[in-house]
């Protein structure tokens, strides 16, 4: 009976043989090794790689592929290496792909380039399950290392770890339930992955006049990872990724030019791209994510959300913030009666206690936006303009409640008409009260107002849930 796996292992071992005088592995033999692997079907290729890893020959394969010595006749070209990685990524399971990555990480002339090239290949050609397993297997090698490069008259630091970069590319390619599994697999190493995903580059150039320093970023991978989180179905996971993403945004935001020291390049564009990714998470399930941010201990002080809100306002995105506020008032799809919606009660997990999470989330939002507004500008007129724009945008969402099409929409709208009217009154009154302080206007525009009595259209329990979160965030948030 033929044994294609054993035959392939033996062939590769023989091609790697360097016993005897001047018996180096030639370029042709390196190609034979790679061709032997790529000619195998997926299941056999995976078994061969596993056996090569166990024997130590996989490390030698990596060494020969990366060989740039003339005496060894050289390894593969960059294009040939990437074609090899693409083939392996479509065939191997996650553990075998991680073993292959480790082999290239330790090879002479290996390290960052082949590890990240393999990660890109896995992101493009790997199966969803292989990607998740690869992330789990790679986790132990992920850290916050940087790459140093030197040349005539310059040096640069690439603020990326090879394994973290590779994992980030793969994580950003996942969607839905597989993205959820990917985030669970990387766990507490996500901050390191996100740091690498911004691709910070610090360049120092020496001249007769002295040294100049510049820093730049590329947030493509970061935005893709946020998109992966937005595609999941777990609002708690989304909130956790959002929080980690904001911490990474802070690091970029707080990097400033120093007179005679550092030139910052493309910072505004990077922050906009990062904010786009964070907004995708919030907008994917505004009510669910905001509830989790409100009650998770790590984020309940409001600092992460307020930092995000501040950056949104810096970018002139008050309209998007207002739409988020409107969803917190009448639901993600503008189908809820706000009076009933804010009074919805849930039981706190593991207890017999109740809370009005929708009202609390609205208070958290208002507190965070107000903290962001005041942190961004001390100018009272500017604060009022910001709040006016937010409230006007929120009103466009509230206005949709009673104008849904179709029979189902008409039924929903009929039940919500009074609540909608009361919310409209609150928002319109807040918009019209241009002389009031920004925080007061946001607060007054949040809860429904009974048009006949002029009183709040909700009871003490709703008002208390809203005001408790509002007061807490206003006091503790650090944008």
pLDDT tens for each residue of 449-472:
998 999 999 999 999 999 999 999
The answer for residues whose C-beta is within 8 angstroms of residue 261's C-beta and 6 or more apart is 213
Burial call 32-55: b when 16+ CB within 10 Å, e when fewer:
bbbebbeebeeebbbbbbbbbbee
pLDDT tier at 148, thresholds 50, 70, 90: low
Q: Is the pLDDT of residue 259 over 80?
A: no
* Span 245-268, average pLDDT: 84
80: how many CB neighbours lie within 10 A of its CB? 14
pLDDT per position as a tens digit, 404-443: 444 444 444 444 578 899 999 999 999 999 999 999 999 9
Q: Are strands 200-207 and 210-216 parallel, antiparallel or unpaired?
A: antiparallel
Residue 56 CA, chain-centre distance (Å), reads 36
Average of per-residue pLDDT across 76-86: 95
Question: Residue 102's pLDDT is what?
Answer: 97
At residue 265 the predicted structure's pLDDT band, cuts being 50, 70 and 90, is confident
- Residues of the chain with pLDDT > 90, as a percent, come to 78
| Per-residue model confidence (pLDDT) at position 404 | 45
Q: What is the pTM of this model?
A: 0.93
pLDDT on residue 401 = 84
Q: Which two tokens stand for residue 438?
A: 């920004």
Q: Determine the average pLDDT of the residues in 288-298.
A: 98
* Residue 295 · residue 357 · CB < 8 Å: yes
> Is the predicted pLDDT of residue 359 greater than 90, yes or no?
yes
Provide the mean pLDDT of the chain: 90
State the pLDDT at residue 419. 87
Note whether 280 and 228 are within 8 A (CB). no
- Residue 4 near residue 25 (C-beta atoms within 8 A): no
Backbone dihedral angles phi then psi of residue 105, each to the nearest 5 degrees? -65, -35
Which are the contacts of 85, defined by CB distance < 8 A and separation ≥ 6? 114, 117, 118, 120, 121
Confidence (pLDDT) at 68: 76
Gap between the Cα atoms of 374 and 346, Å rounded: 33
The residue among 393, 279, 281, 289 whose CA lies nearest residue 334 is 393
Six token digits for residue 54: 């166990």
pLDDT at residue 209 is higher than 70: no
């Amino acid at each position: 009976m033929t044994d294609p796996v054993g035959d392939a292992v033996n062939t590769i071992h023989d091609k790697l043989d360097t016993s005897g005088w001047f018996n180096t592995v030639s370029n042709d033999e390196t190609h034979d090794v790679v061709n032997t692997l790529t000619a195998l079907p997926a299941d056999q290729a995976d078994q061969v790689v596993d056996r090569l890893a166990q024997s130590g020959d996989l490390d030698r394969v990596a060494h020969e592929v990366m060989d740039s010595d003339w005496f060894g006749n050289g390894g593969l070209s960059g294009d040939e290496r990437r074609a090899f990685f693409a083939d392996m990524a479509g065939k191997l399971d996650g553990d075998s792909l991680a073993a292959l990555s480790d082999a290239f990480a330790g090879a002479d002339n290996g390290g960052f380039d082949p590890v990240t090239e393999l990660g890109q290949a896995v992101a493009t050609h790997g199966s969803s399950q292989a990607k998740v397993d690869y992330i789990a297997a790679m986790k132990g090698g992920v850290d916050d290392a940087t790459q140093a490069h030197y040349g005539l008259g310059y040096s640069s630091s690439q603020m990326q770890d090879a394994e973290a970069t590779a994992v980030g590319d793969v994580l950003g390619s996942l969607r839905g339930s597989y993205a959820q599994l990917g985030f669970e697999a990387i766990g507490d190493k996500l901050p390191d992955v996100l740091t690498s995903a911004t691709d910070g580059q610090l360049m120092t150039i020496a001249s007769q006049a002295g040294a100049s320093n510049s820093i730049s970023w590329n947030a493509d991978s970061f935005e893709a990872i946020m998109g992966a989180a937005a595609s999941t179905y777990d609002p708690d996971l989304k909130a956790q990724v959002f929080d980690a993403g904001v911490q990474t945004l802070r690091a970029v935001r707080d990097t400033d030019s120093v007179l005679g020291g550092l030139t910052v390049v493309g910072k505004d564009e990077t922050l906009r791209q990062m904010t786009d990714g964070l907004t995708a998470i919030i907008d994917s399930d505004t009510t669910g994510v905001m509830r989790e941010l409100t009650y998770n201990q790590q984020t309940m002080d409001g600092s992460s959300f307020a930092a995000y809100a501040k950056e949104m306002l810096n970018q002139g995105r008050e309209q998007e913030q207002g739409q988020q506020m409107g969803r917190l008032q009448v639901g993600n799809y503008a189908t809820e009666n706000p009076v009933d919606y804010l009074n919805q009660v849930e039981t706190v997990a593991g207890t017999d206690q109740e809370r009005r999470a929708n009202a609390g989330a609205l208070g958290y939002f208002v507190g965070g936006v107000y903290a962001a507004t005041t942190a961004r500008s001390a100018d009272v007129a500017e604060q009022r303009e910001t709040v006016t724009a937010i409230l006007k945008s929120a009103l466009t969402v509230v206005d949709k409640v009673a104008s849904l099409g179709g029979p189902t929409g008409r039924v929903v709208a009929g039940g919500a008409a009074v609540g909608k009217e009361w919310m409209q009154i609150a928002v319109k009154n807040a918009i019209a009260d241009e002389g009031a302080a920004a925080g007061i206007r946001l607060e007054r525009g949040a809860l429904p107002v009974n048009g006949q009595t002029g009183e709040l259209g909700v009871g003490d329990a709703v008002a208390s849930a809203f005001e408790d979160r509002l007061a807490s965030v206003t006091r503790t948030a650090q944008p």
